[in-house]
């Protein structure tokens, strides 16, 4: 489908979703939330797509997503605020539970809703000029797209509370130290490195990748014993798939595997 605030392209099993609102530093409005939801649903259901990269398009200064569109939020009622929060949370839940790895290529500022989108992704790579933060308290509001929940899970409660309550921005080096981003690259190398990682993932068994994500994500909210039981169950289920037998056979025959996603 055609999008007004996004571009979506696919090559070699890797989809690239680019948020394109250059006049707003790619800030997300309600229309962008709706289009991102539609795009990620389509990518979830596309068997040819094995990994997704999410990034921001060119703007007047480097920007992944500068935040939510404040103009839409000004004057919102309690009911409107809750509805907007639920819309953003549903999108972030869709990304986190896509069943395919999603890489955030943070190519500039990722603030507020932008960082919340990045937190829903499974990996975060950042350019060296990126700045990340949840500055909502400086506007008299709080994060509404899952930031209060995902940031502590990503970097620990103490560091998360400091960022949440101060509203300050972390530069790329600090974000890397905190574990908020996996790697930092020069701006011109960020997208090529994201594509390189995505291509590596796309070459692996798609069922194995999906179940590894499922086990790891589900295990966060379970006692270790329950998580181990889930892992054993999924390990048993995947053992009966074509891809597992193909992967093992290809290893023994010293040839590349031909996965088919079943």
Catalytic residues: 116, 136
Please tell me the distance from the alpha carbon of residue 243 to that of residue 67, in angstroms, as a whole number: 41
182 DSSP 8-state letter = S
Let me know if 109 is exposed, middle or buried by CB neighbors in 10 A (0-12, 13-18, 19+). buried
Q: At what angle do helices 78-96 and 113-120 cross, to 10 degrees?
A: 30
Q: How many CB atoms lie within 10 A of CB 111?
A: 24
Please tell me the distance from the alpha carbon of residue 10 to that of residue 206, in angstroms, as a whole number: 16
Structure tokens at 230: 């889930």
Phi, psi at residue 223, to the nearest 5°? -60, 155
Neighbour-count burial for 182-206, b at 16+ CB within 10 Å, e otherwise: eebbeeeebbebbbebbeebbebbb
Q: At what angle do helices 30-45 and 78-96 cross, to 10 degrees?
A: 30
Number of H helices, E strands in the chain: 11, 10
Q: How many CB atoms lie within 10 A of CB 18?
A: 20
């Amino acid at each position: 489908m055609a999008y007004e605030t996004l571009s979506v392209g696919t090559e070699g099993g890797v989809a690239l979703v680019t948020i394109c609102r250059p006049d707003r530093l790619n800030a997300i409005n309600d229309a962008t939330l709706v289009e991102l939801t539609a795009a990620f649903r389509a990518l979830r259901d596309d068997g040819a797509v094995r990994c997704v990269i999410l990034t921001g398009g060119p703007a007047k200064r480097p920007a992944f997503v500068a935040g939510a569109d404040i103009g839409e939020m000004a004057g919102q009622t309690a009911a409107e605020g809750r509805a907007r929060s639920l819309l953003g949370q549903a999108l972030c839940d869709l990304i986190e539970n896509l069943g395919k790895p999603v890489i955030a290529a943070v190519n500039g500022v990722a603030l507020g809703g932008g960082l919340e989108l990045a937190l829903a992704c499974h990996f975060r790579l950042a350019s060296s000029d990126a700045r990340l933060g949840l500055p909502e308290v400086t506007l008299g509001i709080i994060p509404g797209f899952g930031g209060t929940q995902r940031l502590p899970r990503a970097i620990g409660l103490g560091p998360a509370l400091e960022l949440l309550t101060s509203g300050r921005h972390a530069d790329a080096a600090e974000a890397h130290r905190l574990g908020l981003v996996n790697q930092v690259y020069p701006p011109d190398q960020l997208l090529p490195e994201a594509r390189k990682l995505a291509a590596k993932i796309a070459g692996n068994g798609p069922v194995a990748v999906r179940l590894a994500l499922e086990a790891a994500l589900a295990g966060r909210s379970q006692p270790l014993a329950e998580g181990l039981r889930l892992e054993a169950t999924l390990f048993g289920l995947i053992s009966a798939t074509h891809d597992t037998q193909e992967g093992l056979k290809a290893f023994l025959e010293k040839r590349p595997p031909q996965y088919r996603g079943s």
